[in-house]
Amino acid sequence: MACILNGSKMECDLPKTKGQIQVIFGPMFSGKSTELIRRLKRYQFANYRCLVVRYANDNRYDTQSLATHDKQKLPAMSATVLTDLKRFTDEVDVIGVDEGQFFTDIVSFSEEMANLGKIIIVAALDGTFQRTGFGDILNLVPLAESVVKLTAVCMSCFADASYTKRIGNEKEVEVIGGADKYMAVCRDCHRLSSPVKRSPFKTLDQPMIQVENYNHKKELFC
């Protein structure tokens, strides 16, 4: 790594990165976008140049940023076709794509960028509300260096949730919505036609239990 002192600032040329594909799967409300933001911020902290991409038709929270259910944000470019952004990729080292399941060219774009030495991180639903593969997204699995599947909390029985269940009668696969249209469910609750939604999604604004109160309660039950 070559470093040059420019005035009072040290500028370093990072060694060329080896391309790779990282995939973050999971149902809705499992923290995929949060994990994507965490990884991107880590690369930014290490002086990697990052491009963040959001799906343009998803206007639930923000039209200029990648935004999570609990209001975390990162400035992003909007697109419906990833190849439209190729002209911006020469100057970046890392590309983060949110809602990857909606991009029809996600597989070819990811493979091309990785072969060019880019690190591409894709956060996506692996399955539809019918528990079938979402578009071509599962074709990323044999191409990826890293694949993780996160779980949510079942919004009916509070078990680990690996699936997304739609609330409503729409039959189309692409119906964008949040807790008003979907719930995270476990295997048993997915089999129910209308599971009771006992845990409507809330933001994480509520304070955590105080440590001293927690310790006091532990003493009461010991």
Compute the radius of gyration of the chain from its Cα atoms: 20
- The annotation status of 182 as a binding-site residue, yes or no, is yes
* List 99, 172, 174, 219, catalytic entry: 99
The one-character DSSP state at 37 is H
What ranges in the chain are assigned the alpha helix state H? 32-45, 106-115, 187-191, 211-221
Dihedral-angle region of residue 184 (phi above 0 means left; psi in -120 to 50 means alpha; beta otherwise): beta
Q: How far apart are CA 38 and CA 42, in angstroms?
A: 6
The most distant pair of C-alpha atoms in the chain lies apart, rounded to whole Å, by 67
Whether residue 99 lies in the annotated active site = yes
Summarize the annotated binding site as residue ranges: 182
Query: Would you name the residues annotated as active-site residues?
Result: 99
Summarize the annotated binding site for substrate as residue ranges: 182
